[in-house]
A and B are shown apart, each in its own frame.
Chain A
């Protein structure tokens, strides 16, 4: 009896420190944290995407991004001159591109290339992994990280499976590997330049996406500015608003 009481007393004394060691977050919680880092509910950002090509040359696209809720996204391209006026919209499962030469919106797919670079449309416009993937924890080879093994819930996603490494301390992503339906790795990503882009909001400002099918090709996405508290009215995320 005395012994039981002693054990209970020790457990009670250690209770404040035990959860940190024992309560390992679930894959769902880690994924939710990752989503909060990479795709906060509402933000406006300025970004550039540089595609590095096989011949060593590069093409840079400058754009403005606006996100609302979990599944609404707008992109306005400012540079280069050849694509100025192009716009993209995601609303739920739907994506459109507005081409100023065509003067109208055309539907595009998640897996279509984003401006011919190594990101696809979903990499940029569909950053809510909790909705699209189920995950489980796997043994990690990178210190102080969780490794999430993600499987697509539906066939609408950009990838069939993803391996995602996130930091234990703050759930910032470190790297990712992206696989197609054949199980072949088609892209890999490295996240860097962790910065406080808005008050209290830190995320990697640079994403390097390597093309694993054509090794000489890779693209980088750099965020230069990001604001969380912005006005994002629902009308900005309608097909009719494209081109205005």
Chain B
């Protein structure tokens, strides 16, 4: 009888519900010219790729002020045409092979329950993208989400699993959240949080991030103060306190100015041991002695090493928008450290050419980067390694009504290498947009670049990318 009552209640509730559904289907056809023979291996860079994404967003309201929300993308990719070098150093076509980055993927961008226990008290549980910083291209205070793509900040939709409590008044908000790290997942679907399972015990620690945020609307400015406490959450910091602050306000009517800063002691950035990469003999000596080629020397350093972004944005009378941002990160590589990095990659490419597994080199895994982003595959992955960067973005809409041209410029201000991304978007219908874009990394002047010891070639940050350029044609249908 109880079961029937419960069933009846469920049916009654279902009848009372009215979900909102929307989303898009997206096709991205790309041609990437692999930088064969560069410092970073390009064997797994497919020159021709086709990515199809089906996205659905569902919002189901229930009770008075509660809802369930899901934003899920199913992605499948076709990739082919790989290039590499033969034994004589000539560029040749490689056989098609399996590359994990091109596997089908379910991206649970967001999936959460939200409810108002009181008008001033909001509760959230699930996966949600929460961003407190006003940075447009990059958010130094975002310790929770997969990194966004500075050439298309709208592109990354994925968030983090969390439980969040938020208290709000008209001009204040106080947020407390806890986020467990996803430690095991398959095809984008997580199945192990916080601690590693017994059959894959990488460590015995709990991996999590706690955060508190106070927001205030002060003198027509958005001000956020944040405190984080985390343990091995997306990086190697253990029991780590970090603090953040942001500011955003309009000045002189039309100019939005913002600041976003993260303040932490130490850094998880990997640094190459200089003594191991001076020459081949030094490398061999380190290898025999078991001295790590790469370590994290600032992991427990007490020095405060801030990451700060300042920027401004305006819309002109013709509705064109210009955004300019500057990023400073105190733990970025100096020119000497970057030279060591280049020497290490050069050495790794030599070792790999000899058939020695790179994984056998002590500390080499640190150069492979951080944990993979558990979100939608990105057009461009930005992991700033130096200290000073400039981002500029210009968009001019309404050209012949439906065309928007854009240009995004990412510039390393130390070696003056960068990436330029021109694009044209045609909103052909209210439900259809087509865009054509290019990603062109460029080298800085030789005088500011590092040198690859084996070849004597100048290497700057963006000339290290395993692609020479990429063209992308995207069709998006909204429903």
Say yes or no: A80 contacts B478, CB within 8 Å.
yes
CB distance from A92 to the nearest CB of B (A): 7
User: Which chain A residues numbered 199 to 244 have a C-beta less than 8 Å away from chain B?
Assistant: 233-235, 237-241, 244
Say yes or no: A244 contacts B157, CB within 8 Å.
no
Across the interface, name the chain B residue whose C-beta is closest to A233: B119
Residues of B within 8 A of A100 (CB): 57
- Partner of B256 from the list A81, A109, A116 (CB cut-off 8 Å) is A109
Residues of B within 8 A of A85 (CB): 22, 57
Say yes or no: A240 contacts B168, CB within 8 Å.
yes
Given contacts A106-B134, A240-B166, A240-B173, contact A81 B431 (CB under 8 A): yes
Say yes or no: A92 contacts B220, CB within 8 Å.
yes
**Stretch in A9-17, A27-35, A50-58, A143-151 with 4+ CB within 8 Å of B:** A50-58
Residues of B within 8 A of A80 (CB): 430-431, 478
Say yes or no: A237 contacts B57, CB within 8 Å.
no
Say yes or no: B215 contacts A240, CB within 8 Å.
yes
Say yes or no: B157 contacts A101, CB within 8 Å.
yes
Chain B 205-218, CB within 8 Å of chain A: the 1/0 string?
00000000001010
Residues of B within 8 A of A99 (CB): 154
- Partner of A111 from the list B134, B253, B430 (CB cut-off 8 Å) is B253
- Partner of A112 from the list B166, B175, B315, B427 (CB cut-off 8 Å) is B315
Q: In the complex the two chains form, what is the Cα distance from A84 to B20 in whole Å?
A: 10
Q: In the complex the two chains form, what is the Cα distance from A93 to B110 in whole Å?
A: 32
**Stretch in B228-236, B379-387, B393-401 with 4+ CB within 8 Å of A:** B393-401
The answer to whether the Cβ of A104 comes within 8 Å of any Cβ in the partner chain is yes
Say yes or no: A94 contacts B120, CB within 8 Å.
no
The answer to whether the Cβ of B290 comes within 8 Å of any Cβ in the partner chain is no
User: Which chain B residues numbered 132 to 184 have a C-beta less than 8 Å away from chain A?
Assistant: 134, 136, 153-155, 157, 159, 166, 168-171, 173, 175
Q: In the complex the two chains form, what is the Cα distance from A233 to B168 in whole Å?
A: 12
The answer to whether the Cβ of A7 comes within 8 Å of any Cβ in the partner chain is no
Chain B 336-347, CB within 8 Å of chain A: the 1/0 string?
000000000000
Say yes or no: A107 contacts B319, CB within 8 Å.
no
Q: In the complex the two chains form, what is the Cα distance from A110 to B254 in whole Å?
A: 8
Given contacts A81-B430, A104-B131, A238-B173, contact A109 B253 (CB under 8 A): yes
Tell me if A's interface is mostly helix, strand, loop or mixed: loop
Q: In the complex the two chains form, what is the Cα distance from A104 to B136 in whole Å?
A: 11
Say yes or no: A235 contacts B119, CB within 8 Å.
yes
Q: In the complex the two chains form, what is the Cα distance from A234 to B402 in whole Å?
A: 38
The answer to whether the Cβ of A102 comes within 8 Å of any Cβ in the partner chain is yes
Across the interface, name the chain B residue whose C-beta is closest to A236: B119
Chain A 4-48, CB within 8 Å of chain B: the 1/0 string?
000000000000000000000000000000000000000000000
Q: In the complex the two chains form, what is the Cα distance from A155 to B315 in whole Å?
A: 16
CB distance from A82 to the nearest CB of B (A): 4
- Partner of A238 from the list B169, B252, B400, B431 (CB cut-off 8 Å) is B169
Say yes or no: B154 contacts A107, CB within 8 Å.
no
Residues of B within 8 A of A140 (CB): none
The answer to whether the Cβ of B122 comes within 8 Å of any Cβ in the partner chain is yes
Given contacts A81-B478, A238-B169, A239-B217, contact A57 B431 (CB under 8 A): no
Say yes or no: A113 contacts B319, CB within 8 Å.
yes
- Partner of A103 from the list B157, B168, B314 (CB cut-off 8 Å) is B157
Residues of B within 8 A of A107 (CB): 134, 222, 248-250, 256
Number of interface residues of B (CB under 8 A): 54
CB distance from A129 to the nearest CB of B (A): 17
The answer to whether the Cβ of A91 comes within 8 Å of any Cβ in the partner chain is yes
CB distance from B125 to the nearest CB of A (A): 14
The answer to whether the Cβ of A136 comes within 8 Å of any Cβ in the partner chain is no
Say yes or no: B253 contacts A103, CB within 8 Å.
no
Given contacts A81-B479, A94-B217, A241-B168, contact A103 B131 (CB under 8 A): yes
Say yes or no: A54 contacts B401, CB within 8 Å.
yes
Residues of A within 8 A of B250 (CB): 94, 107, 109
Chain B 291-319, CB within 8 Å of chain A: the 1/0 string?
00000000000000000000000110101
Say yes or no: A111 contacts B319, CB within 8 Å.
no
Q: In the complex the two chains form, what is the Cα distance from A93 to B398 in whole Å?
A: 28
Residues of A within 8 A of B242 (CB): none
The answer to whether the Cβ of B27 comes within 8 Å of any Cβ in the partner chain is no
Say yes or no: A53 contacts B401, CB within 8 Å.
yes
Say yes or no: B154 contacts A102, CB within 8 Å.
yes
Across the interface, name the chain B residue whose C-beta is closest to A53: B401
Q: In the complex the two chains form, what is the Cα distance from A93 to B251 in whole Å?
A: 11
Chain B 460-476, CB within 8 Å of chain A: the 1/0 string?
00000000000000000
- Partner of A93 from the list B20, B154, B220, B317 (CB cut-off 8 Å) is B220
CB distance from A188 to the nearest CB of B (A): 17
Residues of A within 8 A of B478 (CB): 80-82
The answer to whether the Cβ of B114 comes within 8 Å of any Cβ in the partner chain is yes
Chain A 93-127, CB within 8 Å of chain B: the 1/0 string?
11000011111101101111100100000000000
Q: In the complex the two chains form, what is the Cα distance from A107 to B247 in whole Å?
A: 11
Q: In the complex the two chains form, what is the Cα distance from A53 to B171 in whole Å?
A: 39
Q: In the complex the two chains form, what is the Cα distance from A113 to B120 in whole Å?
A: 32
Q: In the complex the two chains form, what is the Cα distance from A54 to B400 in whole Å?
A: 8
CB distance from A80 to the nearest CB of B (A): 4
Residues of B within 8 A of A57 (CB): 401
Q: In the complex the two chains form, what is the Cα distance from A99 to B153 in whole Å?
A: 11
CB distance from A155 to the nearest CB of B (A): 5
Given contacts A54-B401, A94-B217, contact A239 B431 (CB under 8 A): no
Q: In the complex the two chains form, what is the Cα distance from A244 to B401 in whole Å?
A: 32
The answer to whether the Cβ of B129 comes within 8 Å of any Cβ in the partner chain is yes
Residues of A within 8 A of B22 (CB): 81, 84-85
The 3 closest A-B pairs by CB, nearest first: A80-B430, A81-B478, A101-B154
Apart from A107-B134, A112-B319, list 11 A-B contacts with CB within 8 A.
A57-B401, A82-B433, A84-B22, A101-B154, A103-B130, A104-B131, A107-B222, A110-B253, A113-B315, A156-B253, A233-B119
* 12 pairs, CB–CB < 8 Å, chain A vs chain B: A59-B430, A80-B478, A82-B431, A82-B433, A94-B222, A101-B154, A102-B153, A156-B253, A233-B119, A235-B119, A240-B215, A244-B114
